[in-house]
């Protein structure tokens, strides 16, 4: 009965937060900007190289989302702190983790809506050529997991900050770090300073290698574990931080 109520609590928060995205014009601006930019990148690739594939689109996503995702998640906690509703949420009969999950999933759903808007691209590609359906599917899975991870980071940084601007800047920096650590040249440079450290960071924290496997159509358990595990870490940190604030 207890868990049941908590699920319902998360669902209530989810509904409010998801609606809040679409209550503001910013949501539509975000979605349109996301689609236009991504479709634009795809088209440019298509016309320049004549290649009717989605590599350009998916390949750019880890960089592009560094800016898009923290902007989506920045309001999650910072907005409630500004409005004073944070105090309401923290005195509702549900755990901090339940509130957090509702908020996080609302942001994820919003991102998935934007991502779903790009499904016109594979349809176009399908009409023009003979794409690898499996790779497209796994690429979308990779894009969803990538967004989920960035959103976990963004939710965490939103919880640290009182205002949205600091939340988005900190979020961008944290996502950028994961992105950069995954770049082989960066790993090699760090290895040059401290032998082994760069590769270690690249393997455990850097996202490129995990993400790129999925673009190639390979969904490995280690890659899934990387995305889901790291996302969970940030969400747990988020809940712990918000609980710890009481003291």
Partner 1 sequence: MIEVRGLSKSFGTMKALDDVSFRINRGEILGFLGPNGAGKSTTMKIITTFLAPDSGAVTVDGIDVLERPLEVRRRIGYLPENVPLYLDMNIHEYLTFVGRARGLEGARLRERLDWCVEACGLRTEYRKNIGELSKGYKQRTGLAQALIHDPDILILDEPTSGLDPLQILGIRDLIKSLAGHKTIIFSTHILQEVSPVTDRVVIINEGSIIADGTVADLSRGAMGTNRVFIGARAEAGAVEAALRSLPVVTELKPLRATEGCRFEARGPFSDDLVGSIERLARERGWQLTELHEAPYSLEDTFIALTRRARGLKEVA
Q: Binding of partner 1 at residue 29 (CB under 8 A)? A: no
Written as six digits, the tokens of 199 are: 């590769």
Q: Binding of partner 1 at residue 33 (CB under 8 A)? A: no
Report the residue from 18, 51, 63, 85 that binds partner 1 according to the rule CB under 8 A.
85
Whole-angstrom distance, CA of residue 165 vs CA of residue 152 = 17
Whole-angstrom distance, CA of residue 121 vs CA of residue 111 = 17
Q: Which is nearer to partner 1, 29 or 83 (CB)?
A: 83
Q: Binding of partner 1 at residue 16 (CB under 8 A)? A: yes
Touching partner 1, residues 137-166 (CB under 8 A): none
Q: Binding of partner 1 at residue 13 (CB under 8 A)? A: yes
Report the residue from 26, 29, 83, 194 that binds partner 1 according to the rule CB under 8 A.
83
Region of 86-94, 110-118, 123-131, 146-154 interacting with partner 1 (CB under 8 A): 86-94
Whole-angstrom distance, CA of residue 139 vs CA of residue 148 = 14
What DSSP designation does 227 have? H
Q: Binding of partner 1 at residue 1 (CB under 8 A)? A: no
Q: Binding of partner 1 at residue 25 (CB under 8 A)? A: no
Helix (H) / strand (E) containing 197:
helix 197-204
* Size of the residue set binding partner 1 (CB under 8 A): 24
Q: Binding of partner 1 at residue 241 (CB under 8 A)? A: no
Report the residue from 28, 32, 44, 87 that binds partner 1 according to the rule CB under 8 A.
87
Region of 3-11, 120-128, 173-181, 223-231 interacting with partner 1 (CB under 8 A): 3-11
Whole-angstrom distance, CA of residue 137 vs CA of residue 215 = 9
Do residues 181 and 209 lie in contact, with contact meaning Cβ atoms separated by under 8 Å? no
Report the residue from 93, 130, 195, 196 that binds partner 1 according to the rule CB under 8 A.
93
Query: Residue 68's closest CA among 171, 218, 185?
Result: 171
**What residue has token string 């809040």?**
20
Whole-angstrom distance, CA of residue 82 vs CA of residue 87 = 10
Written as six digits, the tokens of 175 are: 């996502």
Q: Binding of partner 1 at residue 193 (CB under 8 A)? A: no
Do residues 108 and 151 lie in contact, with contact meaning Cβ atoms separated by under 8 Å? yes
- Interacting residue ranges for partner 1, rule: CB under 8 A: 5, 8-9, 12-13, 15-16, 20, 23-24, 83-88, 90-95, 246-247
């Amino acid at each position: 009965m207890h868990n049941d109520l908590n699920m319902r609590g998360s669902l209530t928060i989810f509904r409010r937060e998801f609606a809040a995205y679409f209550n503001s014009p910013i949501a539509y601006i975000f979605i349109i900007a996301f689609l236009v930019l991504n479709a634009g990148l795809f088209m440019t690739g298509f016309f320049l190289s004549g290649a009717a594939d989605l590599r350009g689109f998916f390949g750019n996503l880890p960089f592009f989302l560094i800016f898009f995702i923290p902007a989506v998640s920045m309001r999650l906690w910072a907005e409630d702190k500004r409005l004073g509703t944070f105090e309401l949420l923290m005195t509702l009969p549900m755990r901090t983790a339940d509130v957090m999950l509702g908020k996080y999933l609302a942001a994820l759903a919003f991102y998935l809506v934007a991502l779903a808007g790009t499904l016109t691209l594979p349809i176009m590609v399908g009409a023009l050529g003979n794409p690898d359906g499996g790779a497209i599917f796994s690429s979308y899975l990779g894009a969803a997991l990538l967004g989920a991870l960035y959103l976990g980071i963004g939710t965490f940084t939103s919880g640290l900050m009182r205002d949205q601007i600091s939340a988005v800047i900190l979020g961008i920096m944290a996502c950028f770090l994961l992105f950069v650590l995954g770049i082989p040249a960066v790993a090699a440079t760090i290895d040059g300073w401290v032998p082994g450290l760069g590769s270690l960071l690249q393997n455990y924290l850097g996202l490129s290698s995990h993400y790129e496997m999925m673009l190639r159509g390979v969904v490995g358990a280690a890659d899934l574990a990387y995305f889901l595990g790291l996302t969970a870490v940030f969400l747990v940190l988020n809940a712990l931080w918000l609980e710890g604030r009481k003291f």
